[in-house]
Amino acid sequence: MGFEDQKNDQLQIPKIRFEGLDLSQAGSPRWDSARSHVIAALQTYGCFDAVYGVTARSSRGCSSAGPYWTSSSSVCRRSSRTLRQALSRLHWEFAPECIPLPIREPPCGRRAQPRERREVRPPSLAWRKSQLLVPMLRPSKISSWYAYMLQYTATIFNLFLFSLASNAAWTVGKHMRELEQMVEKMILESMGLEKYFVRQVESLEYGLRLTEYGIPSDQENKLAMRSHVDPNMVTVICQHQVGGLEVLSKDGDWITVEPSLDAFTVVTGEAFGVLTNGRLEPCRHRVKITSNESGKRYSALFSSRPKDGVVVHPAEELIDEAHPQQYRPCNYNEYLRYLATTKEEKSMKAFCGVAKEETRA
């Protein structure tokens, strides 16, 4: 079953149902159907909407990964409601409180861990706030993490609020991580690399971040974030009420991604382009806010990226005469430093592309 035709004239990214699907179903007809839709979407758009809700609004225009399992329908509906409630609380109640928290640098001699890193914003993006939320903590770990964070937080914030936010982050992050790993497995399977799935997952670290966008400084173009591609493996995005996310099609058209608490938008990054030897191109996207009475836009972003010291390189199985090697092995941390310091063209291809390296030689 292919993607269903869109019912209106507005160009949209593909919507694929993931409700009731998990890694244990790998190899089943339903899994294989979903995988074919995912790969087609990523090869054409570099992204897709993974739909979890069962409302008529979210189901319209979706590609079904197979028949809806009646035996588990009540469980799926409860899971969807729990997820929507957690997302709503995370965005609406906790984001305004958690995002502004001022974080001090860790003491000298102590290396900041990935979960503590705050995004470095250039002056042109000074209106955009960003805060790495607490890692997806199990309830039993919240108190110890709270005590740890107090060492580096300039403001003593409410433990009760922190606990509620952490629980919401755990619920949302758990769903996002499951989705991210399903997408990773589907991509690897489609390219004959399924034997590397466990190693691939173990080489990654994950983070859940809340972002807040104010009124765009670029009032003429309404751009809250300029066009870019993510350097990581996969990013899972959930917008709250106020939209703005746009993705660039291969035809050069910007496609608006409507916000929904029933769906996550999945986009691939540059690191996956290296792993697949250029078979999957990163999704170019931007944030454009045309109307927002409140002056605020919130979104949750879950990302997977190589751990410290991990070198990303094209899979040998994807290199042959018809598909020559496109990238040299790339240390991901070095690439991030390159993005932060260089004035050259900032792309993975410019950093470790074979053609670029051969030209320099």
Tens digit of pLDDT for each residue in 199-238? 999 999 888 877 777 666 666 667 778 888 999 999 999 8
pLDDT in tens, the chain (361 residues): 334 444 445 788 999 999 889 999 999 999 999 999 999 999 999 999 999 764 333 333 444 443 322 223 343 444 555 555 555 555 545 545 554 444 444 433 334 443 333 333 333 333 445 554 545 545 555 556 556 555 555 444 555 555 556 666 777 778 888 999 999 999 999 999 999 999 999 999 888 877 777 666 666 667 778 888 999 999 999 887 777 899 999 889 999 998 887 889 999 999 999 999 999 999 999 988 776 555 677 788 889 999 989 999 999 999 999 999 999 999 999 999 888 886 666 889 989 999 644 534 4
Count the neighbouring beta carbons within 10 Å of the beta carbon of residue 294.
Answer: 8
Architecture of domain 15-321: Sandwich (2.60)
First to last CA, the chain: 49
Listed by start position, the domains of the chain span 15-321
Instruction: Calculate the alpha carbon distances from 155 to 103, 135, 143, 151 in Å.
Output: 8, 19, 17, 10
Both tokens of 117, joined, read 């890193």
User: 109, 129 in Cβ contact below 8 A?
Assistant: no
Both tokens of 246, joined, read 């746009």
Tokens 């972002």, located at residue: 211
Residue closest to 210 by CA, chosen among 170, 237, 243: 237
CA dihedral sign of residues 253, 256, 262, 267: positive
Tens digit of pLDDT for each residue in 136-187? 545 555 556 556 555 555 444 555 555 556 666 777 778 888 999 999 999 9
Question: Where is 45: in which H helix or E strand?
Answer: none
